[in-house]
Each structure stands twice: as C-alpha cells, then as structure tokens.
Amino acid sequence: MDIPLAERMRPKTLDEFVGQEHLVGKGRFIRRMLESGQITSMVLWGPPGCGKTTLARLIAHYVDADFVPFSAVTSGINDVRKVIAKVKEDKTMFKKKTILFVDEIHRFSKSQQDAFLPHVEDGTIILIGATTENPGFEVIAPLVSRSQVYILYALNDQEIETIVNRAVKYYPSHKWDKEALEHIVKHANGDGRTAINAVELAASLNKKVTLKVAEEAVQQKAIYYDKKGDWHYDTISAFIKSMRGSNPDATLHYLARMIKAGEDPVFIARRMVIFASEDIGNALPTALVVATSCMQAVHMVGWPEAGLILAQTATYLATARKSIASTAGLQQALNDIDENHLDPIPLHLRNPSNKVMKSAGYGHGHIRYPWLAEKETGKKVIQEYMPKNLKGKKYYVPDWK
C-alpha cells in the first residue's frame, strides 16, 4: 500500500518544520530545549493540521527517545496499562527514554488521564499530549501542572504556500496551474494536512492540474468547529461581541460559520434572547420580543430556513440602540446584597395579611397607587421603597438618548 503524501513529507529536522516560529524558531524555547537535550512532559494545544504530531516526532528524534503513539479515540484504560508495562520493559532492556504521544488527549476520561500520572512523576515516560481543546478545561489539573503547555496556531497563507510548493515536487511529471495552487492555499484554512491531501488528490485526478481540478480536490473549505470545544465558544463569543459592537457584517460572518458547522439554531437564538436584555434592554424593548419570537420560530422551522430567521434577528440586534442600564443596575444591586447587611423591609411595604401583622404596622401608610394620588391631588407623592441603609440608592440609570 502506498504511503500517504503527508507521511512522506513529514519533516526530519526543525529547520524543515513549517510554522510555530514562536516555539521552534532560532533561540525559541522548544528549540533551545532540544538543543540542550533536555525534555519535559508537555501538552501541545492547537487546531488540526498545525503540526502537533510532527513536532512530537521531531522532539523524540532530537532527544533520541523511543516514540510510542497512542490514540485517545480508540484506546481505553487497559490499553494504557499495557503500553506502560511495555515501556517499562523496554526501558529496562534498552536504557532509552520513551516519549508517549497521546493524540487527542482531551478525549480521555479523568480516570484514564489519572493512569498516566505516577509514570510521568517517576520518569517512566515523557508524556506529550496533543489536543484541539483548552487543556485548562479538558486535561486534569495534576497532569497539566506536571507538563508544559504550548499553544500552536493555524498556519498562515505563506506557510501553507511553502507546504504546497514542497508537495507538488513529489509529482514532477504533473503540470500545476498557478490558479490551482492558489486555490488550494486559500481553502486549506490554515490546515497543513488539508493542503497536502488536496495536492495528493488533485494529482490523482489529472496530470494537468487546473483550477477546476483543484476545486474538485478541495470541494469545500474545512471549518474546524467542535460543538463542545473552544472553537464553539470562541465563535459564539465573536458573534455576540460583533452584535454588541453594532457591526452587522461581522455578525453575519460568525453566524455563517456556525450555520456551516451545523450549530444548533436554538442555541444561537437563545444567546440572542439573552443579548436582547443584557445589551439592548429598554433602549429598544421590542428587541426582546423579536429575539424570543426568533427562538420559537427556529425551533419550529429548523435548518436550513432557520438561517434566514437568525440572520434577520441578528442584524436587527446588531443595529439596535444599546443599553446596559438594566444589566448594570441588577449587578450593582446584587453586589450590595453581598457586601452589606440587609436592613428590614420597610413596614409600609409589607403585606398585612392578618390582624397581628396589621397591628404591628404592616402596610400602614402605604400609598398603593402613587401616580393616581398625584393625579388626584396635584401634589408629588414621596414614598420610600428602599430598606433604611440603602435609602436614596440609584441602580437604574438610563444610558441611551
């Protein structure tokens, strides 16, 4: 069976490695660490195709360690024990360091991650975990505390272009149109593996790789979006912030990302209901009505038509007047409750539901309809509603014109 192009192209040295200059560039931390021959357990955190596996293999090569790959997707706790036992046996026999590379370590349960701890602590293994999810949430704290966490970033277009230019050299008899290569670079979306796979597929389709062939090979831009992970929360965060910043164009961009990724439309609508109160409030009270109607509508309609309803509502909210008067006022009121003792509720505001309460002064002097009393008497009615220690306190201050 032919070896995939991505495997054949895997760099042999750090100088061949593309991207992540902040980690492996001249004088950078991982390069200095490898040049010194010292290595510690680490977690490599970044999107697909940014070089996590390749970097882990290079690290093992530089420190002359056995590289043992391990998949968190297909392996369980018994597999962990078997691997550790084999590592111990080999270490005794060959006296070599062992790097245990755990791909998608975030998919391991807490107990599975716990199984690595004693062997990381006693030096049996050097653990390198790779994850697309925030290790602060998805990797147990003891393991994170015993490892260095390095963030890897999606490759930029220049780096993807470098990879693509290297890839086409594996097909010297092919003719590659410039537009075809530019299309592959553009639609790799920062994923080196996607770019290499597109080159490999395009080469298998035709000896003359035109733009049309490249489009067929790429098919569709890959959007990395895990509904339970960081990209999910980062995208909804950008969506909310774009509405808050009154930018309907950016709002539609992030909405489109979520639609393409198949996000739950009710989740998007629910966040817009919250936004309508939190960020618009009484500056435009109908915003809450529109957002609530949107949530009900998308629940009934579903994809793909729900996208139209979401787009209409999102642009309405993005262009609406904004106010955080209610939000800020509620937060101040909650803070006062936390930070101050609670004076009794004024007697005149209490409900005199029986004779004992009435004789104790409950409800005495309360003016039920101050606005009506003012209308009838023509005089301003002053009635205190706050507890004694918060008399005169202002929470709600309208902040729009």
Report pLDDT digits (tens) over 188-243: 888 999 999 999 999 988 999 998 888 888 875 445 555 555 567 788 889 999 99
pLDDT at 176 over 80: yes
Residue (of 108, 100, 9, 87) closest to 60 by Cα position: 100
Rounded to an integer, the average pLDDT of 14-27 is: 91
Q: 145-173 burial string, b = 16+ CB within 10 Å, else e? A: eebeebebbbbeeebbbbbbeebbeebee
Alpha-carbon distance of 53 to 59, in angstroms, equals: 10
Beta bridge partners of 209: 176
Residues 398 and 322 sit within 8 Å (Cβ to Cβ): no
pLDDT grade for 342, boundaries at 50, 70 and 90: confident
What pLDDT is attached to residue 222? 46
All CATH 1.10.8.60 domain ranges of the chain, comma separated, are: 157-218
What pLDDT is attached to residue 259? 86
All CATH 3.40.50.300 domain ranges of the chain, comma separated, are: 19-151
What pLDDT is attached to residue 1? 47
How many Cβ atoms from other residues are within 10 Å of residue 395's Cβ?
Answer: 16
| DSSP alpha helix (H) spans, 206-347 | 211-218, 230-244, 248-260, 265-275, 286-301, 306-319, 325-339
Rounded to an integer, the average pLDDT of 20-36 is: 89
Range 157-218 has CATH code 3.10.450.30 = no
Average predicted confidence (pLDDT) for the chain: 85
pTM comes to 0.61
pLDDT at 280 over 90: yes
pLDDT at 346 over 90: no
What pLDDT is attached to residue 364? 83
Q: DSSP string of 327-394?
A: HHHHHHHHHHHHHS--PPPPGGGS---SHHHHHTTTTTT--S-HHHHHHHH-S------S-GGGTT--
What pLDDT is attached to residue 281? 92
Q: Is the dihedral of CA 292, 296, 301, 302 positive or negative?
A: positive
All CATH 1.20.272.10 domain ranges of the chain, comma separated, are: 230-319
Instruction: Give the model confidence (pLDDT) of 50-107 as tens digits.
Output: 999 999 999 998 888 888 888 776 666 777 778 777 777 777 676 778 888 988 888 8
CATH class of the domain defined by 230-319: mainly alpha
Instruction: Give the model confidence (pLDDT) of 103-142 as tens digits.
Output: 888 887 777 788 788 888 877 888 898 988 888 777 888 8
What phi, psi does 103 have (nearest 5°)? -75, 140
Alpha-carbon distance of 154 to 48, in angstroms, equals: 8
CATH architecture of 19-151: 3-Layer(aba) Sandwich (3.40)
